[in-house]
Amino acid sequence: MSSRITISDAKTQKDGGALQTVFSSGLALLSKDKVLSSGKILDYSVEKCIDADGNKRCSNPFLVSKSTTYNIEWKTDGTFTHTTAEIRDVKSSEIVFYRDTDGEWTAEKNELVYIDFKPKPNTGATANSTVEYTVSYKK
Q: What integer pLDDT is reported at residue 45 of this predicted model?
A: 87
Listed range (1-5, 39-43, 48-52, 93-97) with the worst mean pLDDT:
1-5
Query: pTM for the full model?
Result: 0.74
pLDDT at 107 over 90: yes
79-84's contacts with Cβ under 8 Å and 24+ in sequence apart are 82/119, 82/120, 82/123, 82/126, 82/129, 83/43, 83/44, 83/117, 83/118, 83/119, 83/120, 83/126, 83/129, 83/131, 84/117, 84/118, 84/120
| Structural domains of the chain ordered from first start | 2-137 (2.60.120)
CB of 93 closer than 8 Å to CB of 75: no
- The pLDDT tens digits of the residues spanning 50-97 come to 999 999 999 999 999 999 999 999 998 765 667 899 999 999 999 999
Cα–Cα dist 74/139, whole Å:
18
Q: What integer pLDDT is reported at residue 83 of this predicted model?
A: 86
Cα–Cα dist 48/94, whole Å:
13
- The pLDDT tens digits of the residues spanning 7-17 come to 444 443 344 44
